[in-house]
Amino acid sequence: MVSDAGLLPWYERMRAEVPRADVFDVHTHIGSNDPDGFRCTRTELVESLEHLDASAFVFPMHEPDGYSAANDMVAAEAAASGGRLFGFCRLDPHDAPLAEARRCLANGARGIKLHPRAEGFNLDHPALQDVFILADENRVPILCHAGRGIPALGRHAVEVCSRHPGLRLILAHAGISDLSWIWREAPAHPNLFFDTAWWSPSDVQALFALVPPGQILMASDAPYGTPAFGATMAIRHGLQVGLSPDAVRGVLGAQARRLAEREDPLDLGPAPGIESLSRDPLLERVYSFLLSAIGQMFAGVEPKETLALAELACDVGEGDPRAPLYAAIMSLLDARADYDPTGDGRPSR
């Protein structure tokens, strides 16, 4: 994992703005078999949490050979963590997910992790419907990867939360796949949560401005990020949009602690709103991705993934007063694809 030594003084300065905060990271991993090459042990994760006196939800990294053994490993490591780690089981809907969920919950799992992109499914997968009922009945959280490339994820998430009010569904990575519109649905679905494990400040700032603070949960995505960085950014973004210290404490960990204990979530008030920022956070998201794509093109890097994020950021819905502007941006993105069908990404100059 990346060292937090240089960041900790910054974290301590921000932490002073919200004294008595209980820090709880809702998105961490341990494992050694992920094809992307990342690794993390319990010792490494616990050490990063100890810097903050923090706790965390933890689940397996991607396991190409299945999750039963990995889920047992996470359960054992959580039990050996001195109370810092709360183990989740990871499910693949193609591999008897209900039986595995029941087995793991009986073995002490505190929640469920789903990764639609890695395992190739949508939330409307038939094998998941009984899993959602089980999570509803047991009031356990489900954390779902919510990056790009997952068709209809947001729509399915809203439907799941409507059908299962006892289920607590956490969309990871600020819900970026659907953040441009799903923030409007959040107040009517208090069991829909969003974690802050994402790299783009524009996206996280939009999340804090548009979603009620009681539905935002601090996260790092460790080992891809670190708890100190995630907590520092959560405090800074929360204070920047005008959240009260109590609301920021809720984001940092008080709400996650309640989810871990299967208690009712806190109501921390409404979202600050677009007017809490000097610039429109939805347009800022589009600008940020387009600017990143331009930098990639001049470096000779194909910006396909960044432009895909820009397209998602433009999907604000017809009810948005600036919908014609977003449609115009989309038409330019479509034209780029027509003009450069090879997608080599490097401009002529």
pLDDT at 338 over 90: no
Across the range 26-51, mean pLDDT stands at: 93
- pLDDT at 43 (0 to 100): 97
- Given a contact cutoff of 8 angstroms between Cβ atoms, the answer to whether 255 and 268 are in contact is yes
Average pLDDT, rounded, for the chain: 94
Model confidence pLDDT, tens digit, residues 197-222: 999 999 999 999 999 999 999 999 99
Alpha carbon distance 126, 167 (integer Å)? 17
User: For 175, how many CA atoms within 13 A lie in the half-sphere containing its CB?
Assistant: 32
Going by C-beta distance under 8 Å and a sequence separation of 6 or more, which residues neighbour residue 234?
196, 216, 218, 248, 251, 252
Alpha carbon distance 331, 337 (integer Å)? 10
- pLDDT at 149 (0 to 100): 76
- pLDDT at 339 (0 to 100): 76
Across the range 28-48, mean pLDDT stands at: 92
- Given a contact cutoff of 8 angstroms between Cβ atoms, the answer to whether 276 and 209 are in contact is yes
- pLDDT at 140 (0 to 100): 96
Residue 83 three-state SS? coil
Tally Cβ neighbours within 10 Å of residue 125.
17
- pLDDT at 318 (0 to 100): 84
Cα distances from 45 to residues 27, 81, 85, in angstroms, run: 11, 10, 9
pLDDT at 341 over 80: no
pTM, full prediction: 0.95
Of how many residues is the chain composed? 349
Written as six digits, the tokens of 38 are: 């990342």
Determine which of 45-59, 240-254, 308-322 has the lowest per-residue pLDDT on average: 308-322
Task: Identify any residues that bridge with 170 across adjacent strands, giving them in sequence order.
Answer: 143, 193
Written as six digits, the tokens of 129 are: 């419907």
- pLDDT at 270 (0 to 100): 98
Q: Return the residue matching tokens 């432009």.
A: 307
Model confidence pLDDT, tens digit, residues 117-128: 999 999 999 999
Comparing C-alpha atoms, which of 238, 346, 258 is closest to residue 57? 258
- pLDDT at 347 (0 to 100): 47
Residue ranges covered by each domain of the chain: 8-275, 281-339
CATH topology of domain 8-275: TIM Barrel (3.20.20)
Q: How much of the chain exceeds pLDDT 90, in percent?
A: 87
- pLDDT at 131 (0 to 100): 98
Q: Is 55 left (phi over 0), alpha (psi -120 to 50) or beta?
A: beta
Written as six digits, the tokens of 247 are: 């609301």
pLDDT bin (cut points 50, 70, 90) of residue 6 is confident
Alpha carbon distance 28, 79 (integer Å)? 16
Model confidence pLDDT, tens digit, residues 162-178: 999 999 999 999 999 99
Determine which of 112-126, 196-210, 226-240, 331-345 has the lowest per-residue pLDDT on average: 331-345
Task: Identify any residues that bridge with 86 across adjacent strands, giving them in sequence order.
Answer: 57
- Given a contact cutoff of 8 angstroms between Cβ atoms, the answer to whether 287 and 293 are in contact is no
- pLDDT at 344 (0 to 100): 54
Written as six digits, the tokens of 102 are: 């029941």
- pLDDT at 98 (0 to 100): 98
pLDDT bin (cut points 50, 70, 90) of residue 79 is very high
pLDDT at 349 over 70: no
- Given a contact cutoff of 8 angstroms between Cβ atoms, the answer to whether 251 and 218 are in contact is yes
Going by C-beta distance under 8 Å and a sequence separation of 6 or more, which residues neighbour residue 144?
113, 114, 115, 116, 123, 153, 157, 169, 170, 171, 172
pLDDT at 273 over 60: yes
